[in-house]
Structure 1
Amino acid sequence: MFSTAYASNADLYNLSEQSIWSLLIHSKENRAQITDPKFLLSAGSFSAQSELKLTLEQFQQHPYETFCRFPARISYLSEQMKFDLPEDRFSKCPELKAFLEHVPFDSLELVYASEVLSSATSMMGHIFIKASGLNSRAIPVEHSLAYYTEITTFNPLKLVIESTMTGMPGFFSVKPFAKDVEQYIKKEQRNLWQFSLQATPGQLHLLQLHIWELNQVNITYYFQSFNCATLTLEMLALLEPSLLKHRGTIVSPADVVKAAVTEGVVTATSLDTAPHWLFHALRDSIAQKDAKEIDQLVFARKSLTNETRRQQLIKLAADPLAARYITSVVERAIEQDVLESGFTVPTASKDVIFDFTGYKHPAKTPQDSAFGVTWLQDEYNSRALLHYLPAGHFLHNDNRQYLSESELIIAKVSVAVTPDTNKIQLEEFTLYSFRSISPDHAAFPVLSGEFYLGYRQSYQQDLQLASAFEVSGALGKSLRLHRDIISYAMAGAGLTTDVTHSKAFIYAKAGVVMNLIGDTKLYIQYEKSTGKIKNANKFADTTAILSWFPDRDHSINLKLNLVGSKKEQRTQFGAEYFYHF
């Protein structure tokens, strides 16, 4: 057995500075991220070294009890400090023993569930671990190991305060992976990307023991500092400590995927596709004229007999991808009672394996945080804007790796500097905003929409700009005009206030988003509004943004804005640069 008397303070200090020890106690910059006394022995005066000393002292006094509580810590310290553990230690921990027998760690995969912008808990996707292997009865099993929180309020301001300041209850769950497949793929229409991870048996066992430790304690969830991605990245760093290089200010689920791919711990990739995603992947993979013809045959040409329809579809099914697309469309048409349940199209594609792991890959998306600078010039003045986006992406960003065009803005701050007057002011603080421009299709009818909560500028009576607090939302439809062109239209309403005066308004907008050659993109939008702030008149606002993406994490934008009311006209030009990190 070990005695602390045989370890010098220097040895203990050096060991406490090791990255694996910091990961096991979830210390970041010598600050405890998990403060539950059941997990943290030095909660009153935390340091990595004091936590190590107290762990060893408790093990010396109560070896079995301490091992049952901290099996990963004690196993790691035993290996590093070369002391023996009791051979019967697992028999003294029946709950731990049962966990090891029922949740095997023969292999490990990182699982990414794709994003859903309209869901506060899934707007940037979700990340978790899948452990697989033979249980104690030699039965192959798969388990999801995930950290998450639950939304218990519909008050957006309260939600922001709880998720970023006071913290929310976090839950660490261990459940059969099949339940996640049912939830994400079938119910929520979200893909599950699975990345096989490289690890030694010893590393897998240490992580297995550590997950047992986490499953016994209360963890506080913070959106910006300790979310599902943060904890997952730290757990995976037990396999490869270099992953910690990717632990930024805010870690998103896609960041964890990028880190694992970059550091070379991913050995293979597989994809479980949701029907909605697979439908669009197939449609993008075949000739557009064939896709339109198939859509017409299934949904539009009501006068055709089933046999005529079937024969024409068979002709289009010579290409295996087109055949699989036909199957997807027919299945949806039967679900919607457009076709009879017995309608089938014989194809030769049933045994063909399709690989879509390179299509819309989460590791290829731009980074989720950004700094930007904008120069604007109009008839009245010129000014510079400095932007900081902690998490999200813009509609005019490079969104080609997302299923559809979208925008997500969380806690964006923009400060304006006017050189002529040396004036500096807060121009925008967007607490939470999203736009989803998802193309509607007869096979998968879907609404597009947007929501805004924050403080931003709008036009006054004379078309001068003024800022106000705003909450607004709209719904509409989008259509895919071409593989690279989406048009949309929506209408909505909102409320603004500058504390002294509040105003309700309605608005409608239409636009088009085009991905062009040479890594460029054109976004054009026309909006009409009744006026959003005090004394504002009706106005029409046309915006055009031409973007160029020299690489994944840089964007350069040219902007044109034309605004008009009955009495006033205003034209504004701008140039903009964003760095995504």
Structure 2
Amino acid sequence: MIFAANSTASDVTQTSDSKVDSATLQQIANDPLWQLLLQLKNGKPITNDTSIYISKSFVSPFAEAQATIDLFQRNTQNICNYPARLRLLKRYIPEFDLITPAEHCAEYRKFVESVPADSIKLIYASENVTSASSMMGHIMLRLDGTNDNGIPVKHGITFFTELDSLNVPHIMYETLMTGKEGVFKVAPYQEFEQFYLYEEQRNIWRYTLDFNEQQRHFVQDYIWELGQQSPAYFFHIFNCATVTQLLVNIARPAHLNQVASWLTPLDVVKFAQANSLVASTQFVPSNKWEITTLEESIGSRRASAISSHLARAQLDSLSLSFVETKYALALNQYFRSAQTISEQKYQKNSAEIAAFDAKYKHLSLDVSELPVPSSRQQEGYVAAGFTHQDSRSFMAFRAFPVARRLADDNRSMIGETELILADVEFRVGLEQSNLGDIYVDKAMLYQMVSRVPVTQNISNWSSSFNIGINRVLTGERQRKLIVQSEFGLGFTREVMQGLGVYSDIIVGAGANKHEAFVYAKPVIGLYAYTKLNSKLAVNLSRTYNQYGSDEPIDAVSFSLHQYGFENIALDFEVNIQKVADEYESSASFMLGYRF
């Protein structure tokens, strides 16, 4: 749906020029909902984009109230871009009661008639760390209802930016510093779900929101207002989560000041649940997730048999259990989306699966033990600890504003994933010779790892990428800071539930004022979740030409990550590096807090 910048009016009238007294204006300015409509937190705009204000610059909630009232009084047509503001002003100014946007604004009327809001759902699509625009997941609203033609419809409401470049540093600069052109979209919901479920293979959670009729009308009106604007997209302060949070906060406007400045999609989900706004929840798994999960239950031999029968469109010769039927359904859909089978075979398989499914209509998959998004720890991280390195002791510190680590509990994900932004690590000397000295070990702009397991029927590439400043060991056993960028590809295999092995080939480039070099690093490793609610990880690597070294640098790391503490992270790690016949070792303990 393309929003008109200036909605046409069916007629033009002028309201009374009567002045609104200062006391009423102050009441409006202090109303939390008014401040939300102005995108204010603690009385200040949440971004530097002032295009939403009448005067194109922000003065105060009081001044904007006065300017809005003056605009409406000059010409009734001016309400067409601000129906949410008008709806709120009617609570305070009786003369506006007779003004109805649906009567004066043809485009607005068309919108509310074609995009009804009989119910509202919060939609969370799980993260896809291989995509820079999707690495934190995605959040949006879905409006359901019956349109003016009596047809049940569902519309998705979302805000995003187009990433039209492979230049990650440039993208990060635009989305963090200058802002990138934002796209506010209202469209039939099915196209969103098809894209997330089948093209990007993300799981979806639908949260039905407990909004009353007045709140739903405010959401409709505010969606229209947002559609008249052209806000800039900022990854950290104005993204899909920010816009969705503003819409959700219509039911809890006074709580906007408590919302963090850097929002992620999961933050919006947690806010809705913490403020008793969720009436019900529905989980919709992607084909890959369902195939990977169910294959563990039915076994590789049976999975292979079902796969071969699907490929020949001969399922009628098999007898499928309930779980096998669900597996066949997901695999058939995946094969078709991957164009592994023809449309004719897909339809024949679908008909045969439907016959099996009819026998099990009284059954459903139990996902009650699946960790839900809102159960995850917070995504900000600060940590302090102790490290012993190069025969010396240090206090160690680490912090990043938003991330998901390989060290975290990834059991609700497909494989092991990591995304870390603005990661800073440094040490402070504790020995007499270096007491108080500060050593920066890392200042990474962006780090991602996606280790998606290969299954019986799905061949996934694992991948990794990072860019930033890192301290590395040289062939002379010295530790030097370099600017580095790495890219890796590999395979991951789950040997059994909770136990996986992986291998990667990483290539990278590094430089400082003394040296510039390219290097290669093969990696193998394993991870295992234990019965003590912890994860053990082992990683072995050999780096060729690191810092121009003639000798390969071998490294092995052992780490243990303990779970079970709310917003607390406990990490133990031992690293050993070898150059020629010389060894360097370090051991660390970090106590982290998630916020």
- The Cα offsets for residues 209-240 of structure 1, whole Å up to 9 and x where unpaired, read as 11101101110111111111012111110012
Structural mapping, 1:348-427, within 5 Å: 350-351=360-361, 352-354=363-365, 356=367, 359-420=370-431, 421=434, 422-427=436-441
Change (3 A) 1:571 1:36: closer
Answering whether residue 88 of structure 2 is matched by residue 80 of structure 1, we say no
Could you say which residue in structure 2 is the equivalent of 1:169?
Answer: 181
* 8 Å Cα contact 2:291/2:330 also seen in 1: yes
CA contact (8 A) 1:396 1:522 kept: no
CA contact (8 A) 1:374 1:384 kept: yes
When residues 331 and 27 of structure 1 are mapped into structure 2, their CA distance, relative to the original with a 3 A threshold, is closer
CA drift of 1:300 comes to: 8.7
Q: Which residue number in structure 2 is paired with residue 446 of structure 1? A: 460
Residue by residue over 1:131-153, the C-alpha shift from the partner in whole angstroms, topping out at 9 and shown as x without a partner, is 01011111111111111111122
Q: 1:552-563 maps to which residues of 2 (within 5 A)?
A: 552-563=566-577
Q: How big is the shift at 1:322?
A: 3.7
- Seen in structure 2, the aligned counterparts of structure 1 residues 322 and 463 have a Cα distance that, compared at 3 Å, is farther
Distance (whole Å) between structure 1 residues aligned to residue 368 and residue 254 of structure 2: 25
The alignment partner of 1:237 has SS state of: helix
What do residues 228-269 of structure 1 show as CA deviations (whole Å, max 9, x unaligned)?
Answer: 101211111001236536521311001111111111100011
Of 148, 164, 173, the residue aligned with 1:152 is: 164
- Deviation per CA, 1:284-330: give whole Å up to 9, x if none: 5x3xxx422313434699xxx999x987x63xx44x22442244446
1:42 maps to 55
* 1:136 matched to 2:148: yes
Q: Residue 295 of structure 2 is aligned with which of 267, 275, 283?
A: 283
Q: Which stretch shifts more, 206-215 or 549-558?
A: 549-558
Q: For 2:386 and 2:57, how far apart are their aligned partners in 1?
A: 50
The match for 2:112 among 88, 95, 100 is 100
Answer yes or no: is 1:325 the counterpart of 2:333.
no
- Which one of the candidate residues 510, 521, 542 is aligned to 2:535? 521
TM-score (norm 1): 0.91
Q: Does the CA contact (< 8 Å) of 2:41 and 2:256 recur in 1?
A: no
Measure how far apart 1:96 and its partner are: 0.6
Q: Deviations along 1:518-569, whole A, 9 cap, x unmatched? A: 2211111001111422447311110111111132421111111111121311
Q: 1:89 offset after TM fit, Å?
A: 4.1
Check the 8 A contact 2:47/2:237 in 1, yes or no.
Answer: no
- What per-residue deviation string (whole Å, max 9, x for no partner) do you get for residues 354-398 of structure 1? 354762422122211110113111343111221111111211112
1:255 pairs with 2:263: no
AA at the equivalent of 1:295? A
TM-score by length of 2: 0.89
Give distance in 2, aligned partners of 1:567 and 1:523. Answer: 25
- In 1, Cα distance between the equivalents of 2:18 and 2:469? 57
Deviates more, 1:255-264 or 1:179-188: 179-188
Aligned partner of residue 53 in structure 1, secondary structure: helix
For 2:261 and 2:19, the matched residues in 1 are separated by 40
**Alignment partner of 2:90: what SS?**
helix
> Is 1:232 aligned to residue 234 of structure 2?
no
CA pair 76-252 structure 1, distance change in 2 beyond 3 A? same
2:450 and 2:306 map into 1 onto residues whose CA distance is 27
* More moved, 529-538 vs 130-139: 529-538
Residues 560-579 of structure 1 mapped to structure 2, 5 A cutoff: 560-579=574-593
CA distance 1:193–1:114, change in 2 (3 Å)? same
Deviation track 1:311-351 (CA, whole Å, cap 9, x = no partner) reads 7x63xx44x22442244446657864699876767746552
CA distance in 2, matches of 1:326, 1:406: 27
Q: 1:577 to 1:531 in 2, by over 3 A?
A: farther
Question: Map of 1:37-76 to 2, 5 A cutoff?
Answer: 39-62=52-75, 64-76=76-88
Equivalent residue in structure 1 for 2:191, among 167, 172, 179: 179
Q: Is the 8 A contact 1:72 1:210 kept in 2?
A: yes
Does the alignment pair 1:267 with 2:269?
A: no
1:551 alignment partner, SS class: coil
Hey, what's the Cα distance between the residues in 1 that align with 2:592 and 2:294?
33
Kindly tell me: are residues 158 and 326 of structure 1, through their superposed partners in 2, closer, same or farther at Cα, counting changes over 3 Å?
A: closer
1:15 counterpart letter in structure 2: I
After superposition, the Cα gap between the structure-2 partners of 1:145 and 1:296, relative to the gap in structure 1 and judged at 3 Å, is closer
Matched letter for residue 518 of structure 1: L
Q: Any conservation in 1 of the 2:156–2:188 contact (CA below 8 Å)? A: yes
Query: For residue 37 of structure 2, what is the aligned residue in structure 1?
Result: 24
Structure 1 position 293 matched with structure 2 position 307: no
User: Whole-Å Cα distance in 2 between the matches of residues 321 and 478 of structure 1?
Assistant: 25
1:537 equivalent to 2:545? Answer no
The farther-off stretch of 30-39 and 393-402 is 30-39
Question: Contact 2:83–2:101 (CA<8 Å) still a contact in 1?
Answer: no
The structure-2 alpha-carbon separation of the partners of 1:191 and 1:330, relative to structure 1 and needing over 3 Å to count, comes to: closer
Post-superposition offset of 1:51: 0.9
C-alpha separation between the residues in 2 aligned to 1:472 and 1:4? 66
Q: 1:232 to 1:358 in 2, by over 3 A?
A: farther
Aligned counterparts of 1:517 and 1:530: Cα–Cα separation in 2:
38
Distance 1:211 1:3 in 2: 29
Checking the alignment, whether the CA contact within 8 Å between 1:294 and 1:326 is kept in structure 2 is no
Mapped contact 1:281–1:359 kept (Cα < 8 A): no
Contact kept in structure 2, 1:240 and 1:265, CA below 8 Å: no
Number of residue-to-residue matches in the alignment = 568
**1:12 equivalent among 2, 20, 25:** 25
Checking the alignment, whether the CA contact within 8 Å between 1:115 and 1:125 is kept in structure 2 is yes
Against the structure 1 CA distance between its residues 478 and 82, is the aligned structure 2 distance closer, same or farther, given a 3 Å change threshold?
same
Aligned to 2:132: 120
Amino acid in the other structure paired with 1:557: D
1:104 is paired with a residue whose SS is coil
How far, CA to CA, are the matches of 1:111 and 1:330 in structure 2?
25
Q: CA RMSD in A?
A: 2.7
Q: Relative to 1, partners in 2 of residues 1:357 and 1:167: Cα closer, same or farther, differing over 3 Å?
A: farther
Specify whether residues 252 and 75 from structure 1 end up closer, same or farther in structure 2 by C-alpha distance, changes over 3 A only: same
- 33 and 576 in structure 1: CA distance in 2 versus 1, 3 angstrom threshold: closer
On the 8 A contact 2:122/2:207 being kept in 1, the answer is yes
**2:389–2:587 contact (8 Å) kept in structure 1:** yes
